[in-house]
């Protein structure tokens, strides 16, 4: 996969994490600043206790233990007091370590919750285009694998690296206190170790980024294969699917193996180099102590004593071991940054633009049918409400600037719109008009070419044509799943770009060809159309579309729990629930995209009666391959390669003996 394709799909580059990722992670962590302050304080106490106890070894040996060696009548009291004091230091370190480990889960889980909340909230605002161009399994991987790597970094890597860093600094200060020359030797040795570790960690980091990418890719492929398992078996593609999976899994294996191989090398290298340093210090320091070589540190000058050497050896381990922990945790940090890059890539995707200001409100109509008053309860009448200071003059001027048929269509829409005297309220009637609309999912490849048409209020408008003619695209544009490149779409004389998307979509009930049911009861799935609907309203909606009969035959009726997108139901039953969901929404206009495509002919006749009742008084857009379902439409539009080639009712189009006639009689196949 090319890098350019990855960037278009929102995936980070496969060689490194995105810049600024660490800063954004810590921005989330610091929302728990008091927890973080307490954790930092505890880590500091633990580091000071560790360094202090190692430093105290010098005093313990030189001032308390050696004087007792060979003494005729040793006084053990001072030694016991010194050991007790040393024990208190260790206890303080243990308590501090326990406390920060106890506080970490609150920060870790709280941070991840906030990130998941923000990621999901942002996802809800993304345009349909994002989900059309990104694999769903890869999106899911960001919520699972990528957040899990981040969890490990927050709970383990970050605090342990900070703790190790503080411990190393404390150890260096303690060594400087005892011996500047020995400390200089240790730091010089550490510089060489740094370059070795840097080369290893850099190579491991690149592979960890690749690992996170391939985890997402494998998850996406598995999710796609599970959903398409029937198709795979029908066409005997098991071997090909297995081969593709093996290739992707091999890439994941190679990236993971390389990442973990280089990652696992780090600690042994640092550990063994630490042993080398320990041996060198023991040999050189022992020789210096036996020879009585002078020594100087921040505490003063004097000979290098046995107690000082013991403290320095202990401190060298206290210095090198944390460096090993840091280098080991760097691998986890690299993996977490790679995962976080993918998370933030989703969160940085541009949200669905909505510059609309016109809202949908309930109104009461006066006796003249034009006077309107906004109310806060349902009345059965809806109106578009412009913002204060907008009386519709701007949209009228825009319509007057058009030319030809588009100008006539737009001005007719303004003329027929029912508007309040102040121009701010326009009655929702379902008058939909396209003027000179050109659109392409890829702007360079138009799907619709300069089309102009209108649907009068209450009309049943059918869109027919071969696959790819642009039927579904028309409905996608009405509810602004996509925005047009040229022209205007008018809804009751108002440009849909000026209507807030939630209000626009509230006015449009929709039944899609691909049914999606959610985990929950049948009642919950019907109520999804309008969350404040009562049980009685949901049941009435089911009766209206003749779904009530089969629902009551389910094990628990309306309380039957559906899982796996309603996998226990037939395709037709799933579609009926979807239609009932649209019915309970009670939207002023309807879009039926192959709404009865999954229902057998006999059931369709029963459902159609309910659908006719549902469509009464509403503007309805019907997309259908089965032309028998559109015979009673008021207007039928025939599309061909993004252009309207015929328009009329069934009888008119049959009489023309054109494309519709060819399609209806079977002379030309819809596909």
Q: What is the pLDDT of residues 164-207, one digit of tens each?
A: 788 788 788 888 887 888 888 888 888 877 787 777 777 776 77
Say if CB 581 and CB 525 are below 8 A apart: yes
Give a three-class secondary structure readout of 100-169: HHHHHHHHHHHHHHHHHHHHHHHHHCCCHHHHHHCCHHHHHHHHHHHHHHHHHHHHHHHHHHHHHHHHHH
Q: Tokens at residue 87, please?
A: 């024990």
Residue 10, pLDDT score: 42
Say if CB 135 and CB 224 are below 8 A apart: yes
Residue 8, pLDDT score: 38
CA distance 148 to 136: 18
Confidence of residue 61 (pLDDT cuts 50, 70, 90): low
Q: Pick one of 3.40.50.2300, 3.40.50.300, 3.40.640.10, 3.40.50.1980 as the CATH number of 508-665.
A: 3.40.50.300
Name the pTM for this structure.
0.70
Which region among 31-45, 205-219, 482-496, 505-519 has the lowest average model confidence (pLDDT)?
205-219
Beta strands 294-297 and 382-385 are: unpaired
CATH, domain range 19-347: 1.20.1560.10
Q: Where in the chain is the domain with CATH 3.40.50.300?
A: 508-665
Look at 376 and 65; give whichever has higher pLDDT. 376
Residue 670, pLDDT score: 45
Question: Within a 10 A sphere around the Cβ of 450, how many other Cβ atoms?
Answer: 16
Using the predicted structure, report yes or no on whether residue 597 has a pLDDT greater than 70: no
CA distance 471 to 469: 6
Residue 539, pLDDT score: 92
Q: What is the pLDDT of residues 356-411, one digit of tens each?
A: 889 998 888 887 777 888 888 877 788 899 888 777 777 777 777 777 777 887 78
Using the predicted structure, report yes or no on whether residue 102 has a pLDDT greater than 90: no
- For residues 90-112, give the mean pLDDT: 85
Q: Which single residue is written with the structure tokens 């009585």? A: 292
- For residues 296-311, give the mean pLDDT: 75
- For residues 40-63, give the mean pLDDT: 73
Residue 538, pLDDT score: 92
Q: Tokens at residue 90, please?
A: 């260790």
Look at 437 and 73; give whichever has higher pLDDT. 437
Q: What is the pLDDT of residues 76-92, one digit of tens each?
A: 777 777 778 777 877 88
Q: What is the pLDDT of residues 235-257, one digit of tens each?
A: 677 888 888 888 888 888 888 88
CA distance 353 to 462: 29
Q: Which fold has domain 359-373+388-457+467-501?
A: Rossmann fold (3.40.50)
Which region among 231-240, 336-345, 453-462, 492-501 has the lowest average model confidence (pLDDT)?
231-240
The strand pairing partners of 149, in sequence order, are: none
Using the predicted structure, report yes or no on whether residue 13 has a pLDDT greater than 70: no
Q: What is the pLDDT of residues 440-469, one digit of tens each?
A: 888 888 889 888 888 888 888 888 887 778
Q: Tokens at residue 560, please?
A: 């039957």
Confidence of residue 66 (pLDDT cuts 50, 70, 90): low
Residue 17, pLDDT score: 65
- For residues 249-266, give the mean pLDDT: 80
Q: Where in the chain is the domain with CATH 1.20.1560.10?
A: 19-347
């Amino acid at each position: 996969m090319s890098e350019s394709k990855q960037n278009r799909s929102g995936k980070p580059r496969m060689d490194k994490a995105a810049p600024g990722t660490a800063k954004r992670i810590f921005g989330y962590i610091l929302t728990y600043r008091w927890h973080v302050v307490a954790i930092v304080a505890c880590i500091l106490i633990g580091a000071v206790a560790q360094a202090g106890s190692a430093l105290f070894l010098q005093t313990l040996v030189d001032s308390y233990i050696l004087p007792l060696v060979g003494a005729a009548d040793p006084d053990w009291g001072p030694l016991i007091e010194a050991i007790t004091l040393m024990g208190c230091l260790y206890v303080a370190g243990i308590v501090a370590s326990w406390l920060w480990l106890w506080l970490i889960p609150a920060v870790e889980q709280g941070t991840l919750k906030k990130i998941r909340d923000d990621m999901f909230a942002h996802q809800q605002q993304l345009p349909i285009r994002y989900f059309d161009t990104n694999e769903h399994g890869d999106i899911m991987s960001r919520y699972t694998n990528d957040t899990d790597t981040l969890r490990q970094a927050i709970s383990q890597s970050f605090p342990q690296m900070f703790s190790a860093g503080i411990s190393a600094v404390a150890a260096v200060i303690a060594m400087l206190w005892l011996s500047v020359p020995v400390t200089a030797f240790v730091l010089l040795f550490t510089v060489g170790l740094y370059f070795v570790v840097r080369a290893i960690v850099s190579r491991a980091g690149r592979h960890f980024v690749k690992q996170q990418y391939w985890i997402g890719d494998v998850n996406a492929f598995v999710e796609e294969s599970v959903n398409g398992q029937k198709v795979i078996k029908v066409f005997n593609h098991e071997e090909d699917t297995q081969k593709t999976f093996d290739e992707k899994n091999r890439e994941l294996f190679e990236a993971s193996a390389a990442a973990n191989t280089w990652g696992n090398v780090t600690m042994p290298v640092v550990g063994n180099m630490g042993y080398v340093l320990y041996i060198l210090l023991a040999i050189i320091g022992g020789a210096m102590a036996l020879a009585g070589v002078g020594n100087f540190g921040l505490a003063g000058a004097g000979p290098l004593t046995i107690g000082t050497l013991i403290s320095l050896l202990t401190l060298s381990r206290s210095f090198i071991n944390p460096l090993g922990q840091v280098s080991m945790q760097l691998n986890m940090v690299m993996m977490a940054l790679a995962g976080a890059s993918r998370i933030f890539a989703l969160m940085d995707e541009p949200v669905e633009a909505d510059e609309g200001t016109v809202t949908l409100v309930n109104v009461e109509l006066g006796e003249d049918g034009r006077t309107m008053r906004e109310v806060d309860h349902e009345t059965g009448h809806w109106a578009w409400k412009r913002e204060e200071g907008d009386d519709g003059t701007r949209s009228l001027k825009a319509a007057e600037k058009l030319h030809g048929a588009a100008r006539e269509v737009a001005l007719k829409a303004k003329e027929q719109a029912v508007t309040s005297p102040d121009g701010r309220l326009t009655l929702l009637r379902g008058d939909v008009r396209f003027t000179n609309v050109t659109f392409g999912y890829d702007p360079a490849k138009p799907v619709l070419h300069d089309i102009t048409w209108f649907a009068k209020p209450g009309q049943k408008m059918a869109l027919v044509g071969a696959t790819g003619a642009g039927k579904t695209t028309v409905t996608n544009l009405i509810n602004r799943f996509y925005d047009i490149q040229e022209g205007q779409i008018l809804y009751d004389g108002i440009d849909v770009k000026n209507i807030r998307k939630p209000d626009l979509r509230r006015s449009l009930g929709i039944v899609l060809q691909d049914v999606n049911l959610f985990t929950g009861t049948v009642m919950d799935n019907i109520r999804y159309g309008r969350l404040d609907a009562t049980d009685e309203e949901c049941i009435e909606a089911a009766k209206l579309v003749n779904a009530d009969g089969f629902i009551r035959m389910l094990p628990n009726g309306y309380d039957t729990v559906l899982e796996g997108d309603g996998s226990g139901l037939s395709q037709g039953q799933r579609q009926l629930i979807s239609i009932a969901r649209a019915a309970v929404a009670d939207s002023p206009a309807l879009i039926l995209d192959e709404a009865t495509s999954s229902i057998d002919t006999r059931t369709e006749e029963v459902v159609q009666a309910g659908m006719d009742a549902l469509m009464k008084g509403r503007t309805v857009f019907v997309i259908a391959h089965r032309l028998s379902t559109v015979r009673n439409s008021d207007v039928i539009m025939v599309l061909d390669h993004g252009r309207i080639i015929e328009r009329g009712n069934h009888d008119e189009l049959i009489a023309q003996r054109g494309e519709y006639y060819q399609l209806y009689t079977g002379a030309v196949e819809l596909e």
